[in-house]
Amino acid sequence: MPIHSIVIYGEPVLHRRAEKITDFDDELATLIADMHETLDASNGVGLAAPQIGVAKRIFVFNAEDDAGVRRRGTFINPLLIASKIPDTRPDPDEETEGCLSVPSLDFPLKRADRVTVNGVDETGKSVSLTAEGWFARIMQHEYDHLQGTLYVDRLDKRWSKKWKKEQAANGYNVPGRSWTPGVDPDPFGH
């Protein structure tokens, strides 16, 4: 199972809606296994197929929830239902997000505190997960990738200005850029 390169903001696949999965075959099983291996090598908590250049509606996750329970899984063709996002400003100490496709940067972002995700796993079996807090943030972040939205696209005016400066400084709008976990230096210093 190979580790895939992770594409960086500006790559077209990241900015369009991913395609629904219809074939549950060996090719899909291999892709999902590769995604889990890539996620593990990246030291991230979630990875969507568009992040490895594949425009399919799949994301994988491997993280502890707020209760300290490790959850690892796969969602295919998910539907996310979220509680209302509070109208308050994000707390830079408690509500900061990063992304493997926006290497070395993180910004505060307000998210819904509770979500339910429904979809299917790699065998086509229905799966559902309700999450709160940190884990709900992960689910929203990965689901957004399947919609063609990155967390930096959701930043409020203040943080969006800072993102635009960093985007220009890092060249995060140019197609064809990527990094490979386990080969390139970890952009987050894990």
Distance of alpha carbon 30 from alpha carbon 33, whole angstroms: 5
First to last CA, the chain: 22
Q: Is 58 helix (H, G, I), strand (E, B) or coil?
A: strand
Token pair 């990094």: residue: 179
Residues acting as catalytic residues: 142
Sign of the Cα pseudo-torsion (20, 30, 173, 161, in order): positive
DSSP-derived secondary structure for 103-148 = EEEEEE----SEEEEEEE-TTS-EEEEEEEHHHHHHHHHHHHHHHT
Q: Count CB-CB contacts under 10 A for residue 16.
A: 11
